[in-house]
């Protein structure tokens, strides 16, 4: 007979949001275990922006300094016309962000950030190779079954299992995410070729064309030794079964060729490039039920154009940990209600603006996003 291990809190998914939730709950004194389907940690993906809103959370965990040393510190978020190079907006970050928003704004390789997050967890409580396959809500706990045969009875379950969340499926039924009609090409460029252009590449710049097609390009290391771009391109459909497919310099040239020389330099420095579909869901009416609660892409997936999807997941984690800290395990119903009250409007607003892809294209004040105080907001 399979033995059932009894635990307090199970975090399903050890991605950027789940790893943050596990660390924050442990820091708040809870007994937490993470269950991740991936067989082991791998340095996946490429670039990610982390705003001051989230660097404050990493400060709380004692990780801010480490990440700030690894990541790049852009002086601005520039928006530029893809053809002429004209500056459409120059949003100050750097020292300004430190002073006005209370923490640095960094861009970093997401694998580097994730590694720091995973290393900060108690490895005896992070269970790789555990894909959740069944959830049974019972009177005094939730029985989780994993594909490796393991069963765990948890008092509370946090669904940090991304856009295809099983926890979401349990709460709201089976529904595939919707293809947003947009794809993104992602590439780390060849730095020698980029340097050979003799052009001064800004540390964070979004190039824009008609229909809001764009290339977001930025450094991912403090010393500027790694440079990355992600595009946004509308397409008619996505017909591949896999999560992403190979693209090519030729395809980049076909879409963005004939643009500003700096864009051409990026295309010419492209060696390997992949393309990814962007999936979506409408804002959800339910974030928790009983002992189940969701954070991050499980409950508010979005197109990536505000560079705040992971930031929202980590903010969720911080606020949820605060709420549970106030109520304790026993009154999780109140904690989940406070959490949803505190988070829903903000996450939905970010989701809506991300999907519209208008963020920082023109001069605007981003303080409502970056100056957010996860440890200062009122909870009720």
Q: Considering only the stretches 89-97, 159-167, 355-363, 370-378, report the one whose residues sit in contact with ligand FAD under the rule CB under 6 A.
A: 159-167
Nearest CA among 49, 366, 12 for reference residue 216:
49
313 binds ligand FAD (CB under 6 A): yes
* Angle between the N-to-C axes of helices 332-356 and 309-327, in degrees from 0 to 180, rounded to the nearest 10: 170
117 binds ligand FAD (CB under 6 A): no
Token match 């440890």: residue?
A: 375
Site string for ligand FAD, 206-235 (x = CB under 6 A): ------------------------x-----
In the window 314-353, what residues touch ligand FAD (CB under 6 A)? none
Within 8 A by CB and 6+ apart from 288, the residues are 171, 294, 336, 339, 340
Three-state DSSP class for residue 86: coil
12 binds ligand FAD (CB under 6 A): yes
Q: Considering only the stretches 156-164, 171-179, 261-269, 370-378, report the one whose residues sit in contact with ligand FAD under the rule CB under 6 A.
A: 156-164
Please give the positions annotated as active site.
Answer: 49, 218
Q: How far is the CB of 276 from ligand FAD (least distance, A)?
A: 6
Nearest CA among 38, 36, 29, 39 for reference residue 8:
29
Site string for ligand FAD, 20-49 (x = CB under 6 A): ---------------xxxx---------xx
Site string for ligand FAD, 165-204 (x = CB under 6 A): -x-----------------x-x------------------
Other Cβ atoms within 10 Å of 9 Cβ, number: 22
132 binds ligand FAD (CB under 6 A): yes
Q: How far is the CB of 330 from ligand FAD (least distance, A)?
A: 27
User: Could you please report the per-residue DSSP string of 216-284?
Assistant: EEEE-STTS--EEEEEEEE-S----SSS-EE--HHHHHHHHTTS-HHHHHHHHT----EEEEEEE-PPP
Residue 310, token pair as written in the block: 């992971």
Q: How far is the CB of 131 from ligand FAD (least distance, A)?
A: 4
160 binds ligand FAD (CB under 6 A): yes
Judged by CB under 6 A, the residue of 52, 296, 366, 374 near ligand FAD is 296
Backbone φ/ψ region at 211: left (φ over 0), alpha (ψ -120 to 50), beta = left
Which residues contact ligand FAD by CB under 6 A?
12-18, 35-38, 48-49, 130-132, 160-162, 166, 184, 186, 230, 276, 296-298, 304, 307-311, 313
């Amino acid at each position: 007979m399979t033995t059932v291990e009894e635990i307090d809190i199970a975090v399903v998914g050890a991605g950027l949001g789940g790893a943050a939730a596990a660390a924050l709950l442990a820091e708040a004194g809870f007994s937490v275990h993470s269950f991740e389907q991936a067989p082991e940690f791998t340095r996946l993906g490429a670039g990610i922006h982390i705003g001051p809103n989230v660097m404050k959370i990493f400060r709380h965990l004692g990780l801010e300094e480490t990440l700030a040393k690894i990541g790049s510190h852009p002086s601005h978020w520039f928006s530029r016309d893809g053809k002429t190079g004209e500056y459409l907006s120059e949003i100050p970050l750097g020292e300004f962000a430190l002073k006005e928003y209370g923490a640095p704004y960094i861009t970093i390789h997401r694998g580097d950030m994730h590694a720091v997050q995973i290393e900060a967890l108690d490895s005896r409580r992070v269970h790789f190779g555990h894909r959740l396959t069944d959830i049974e809500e019972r009177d005094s706990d939730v029985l989780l079954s994993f594909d490796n045969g393991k069963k765990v009875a948890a008092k509370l379950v946090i669904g940090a299992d991304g856009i295809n969340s099983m926890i979401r499926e349990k709460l709201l039924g089976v529904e595939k995410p919707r293809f947003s009609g947009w794809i993104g090409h992602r590439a780390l460029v060849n730095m020698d070729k980029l340097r050979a252009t003799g052009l001064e590449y800004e540390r964070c710049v979004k190039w824009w064309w008609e229909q809001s097609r764009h290339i977001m390009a930025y450094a991912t290391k403090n010393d500027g030794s790694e440079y990355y771009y992600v595009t946004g391109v509308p397409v008619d459909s996505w017909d591949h079964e896999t999560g992403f497919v190979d693209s090519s310099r030729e395809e980049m040239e076909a879409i963005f060729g004939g643009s500003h020389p700096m864009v051409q330099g990026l295309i010419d420095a492209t060696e390997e490039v992949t393309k990814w579909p962007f999936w979506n869901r409408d804002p959800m009416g339910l974030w928790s039920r009983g002992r189940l609660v969701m954070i991050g892409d499980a409950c508010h997936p979005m197109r990536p154009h505000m560079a705040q999807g992971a930031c929202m997941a980590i903010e969720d984690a911080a606020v949820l940990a605060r709420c549970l800290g106030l109520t304790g395990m026993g009154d999780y119903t109140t904690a989940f209600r406070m959490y949803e009250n505190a988070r829903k409007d903000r996450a939905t607003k970010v989701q809506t603006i991300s999907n519209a892809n208008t963020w920082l294209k023109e001069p605007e004040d981003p303080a409502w996003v970056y100056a957010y105080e996860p440890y200062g907001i009122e909870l009720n």
